[in-house]
Amino acid sequence: MKHIISVLVENKFGVLARVAGLFSARGFNIKSLSVGETIDPTVSRMTIISAGDDQIIEQVIKQLRRLVDVIKVTDLTGEDYVDREMVLIKVNAEPKVRSELMQIIDIFRTKIIDVAPRSFIVEATGDNDKINALIDLLRPFGIKEIARTGCVAMSRGSKSKK
């Protein structure tokens, strides 16, 4: 089962390596990892997507909480949360298929951020299902490159984690 884990950490050199090392040393797979500074520049938020049964994820969370630079660990999977991912997709855009491509891009409320004689770069933001659906529809046109940010997530409501 997929779990989304939000981790607040000290914004220091080497913290990311220690967290990633914890996963690798114990054989836990990271499907996605994104890190960014919070409103407090001394604190960063990591959003980690990992797969495993509840017992494995509980073990991961306990191990994370033991790391010195970790401030708070939350498994968002059982909570009400919002998640998003951004993707850049370079897709073949021969003149004869451009209008069809633009219809797909409009339907997904994405935008073209670069136009070349034979390709577009499309920027999309959304949850994992939306991003995967867009990629599936663009694939027949010929995707040249993809760059994905990984998931960022936050619990809903007025509770503030920092």
- Tens of pLDDT, residue by residue over 127-157, are 989 999 999 999 999 999 999 999 999 988 8
pLDDT digits (tens, 9 = 90+) for 74-131: 999 888 999 999 999 999 999 999 999 999 999 999 999 999 999 999 999 999 899 9
pLDDT of residue 160: 60
Q: Indicate the pLDDT class of residue 55, thresholds 50, 70 and 90.
A: confident
pLDDT of residue 133: 96
Q: What is the pTM of this model?
A: 0.82
DSSP the chain: -EEEEEEEEE--TTHHHHHHHHHHHTTPPEEEEEEEE-SSTTEEEEEEEEE--HHHHHHHHHHHHHSTTEEEEEEGGGS-EEEEEEEEEEEE--GGGHHHHHHHHHHTT-EEEEEETTEEEEEEEE-HHHHHHHHHHHGGG-EEEEEE---EEEE-SS----
